Amino acid sequence: MTTFEELLRNNARFAATDVKDHQPAIPFVPHQQAYILTCIDPRVDPAQVFGLHLGDAIVARTVGGRVTPAVLQDLAWISYLHEVKTPEAEWFDLVVMHHTDCGSGLLADDELRRGFAARTGYDEAGLADLAVLDPAATVPGDVEKILAFPYASPRIRVTGLAYDLKTGVATVVVPAATARR
């Protein structure tokens, strides 16, 4: 059996349960008003790290948990929807979380990055900027990108965390602040 076939079997088991039927009925706003941006690394699962359940949070995952143009576009869209469809509802706590021992750190290797850029045509300098060698050093810049983004609602609270893979502890690097226009 392939991995994909196993995933489909797992989905069939899930669909047969009533888990999805016991979620509070709200259109698209997460139950815990959380929006988490973190790394694609499978060792960093927000559901496990934060004890989340289906519908509790919006979870976005990028290489290194970095703020990219696509992340900002998604944030603009959800901000707009929230303002238009649920203006009286609570607003999000958005968490930017980078982690230790991140594979994106390999983008700091000149030869590896240069080879990837040559193969794909991606901008080498832009790739270098994605490297997370020290989450406490990279999180503040990404938080600032969100806070300065003109299409993020000023009612969103943004916090920056560094997650330690060895201890499982998420540490606040940037305390909660509201986005500004």
Domain covering 27-178 in this structure, CATH number: 3.40.1050.10
Whole-number pLDDT of residue 28: 67
User: Worst-scoring range by mean pLDDT, 25-29, 104-108, 131-135, 163-167?
Assistant: 25-29
Helices and strands of the chain, counted as H and E runs: 6, 5
Whole-number pLDDT of residue 89: 82
Within 8 A by CB and 6+ apart from 68, the residues are: 62
Predicted confidence band of residue 30 (pLDDT cuts 50, 70, 90): confident
Whole-number pLDDT of residue 170: 98
C-alpha–C-alpha distance, residues 34 and 95, integer Å: 8
Using DSSP's 3-state secondary structure scheme, residue 47 falls into helix
What digits encode the pLDDT tens for the residues 71-86? 999 999 999 988 898 8
The CA-CA-CA angle for residues 150, 155, 76, to 5°, reads: 40
Tokens of 85: 């469809």
User: What is the overall mean pLDDT for the chain?
Assistant: 91
C-alpha–C-alpha distance, residues 155 and 175, integer Å: 15
Q: For the chain, what are the domain ranges?
A: 27-178
Helix H segments across 20-123? 46-50, 69-85, 110-120
What is the average pLDDT across 143-159?
94
What is the average pLDDT across 27-36?
81
Whole-number pLDDT of residue 92: 85
Within 8 A by CB and 6+ apart from 141, the residues are: none
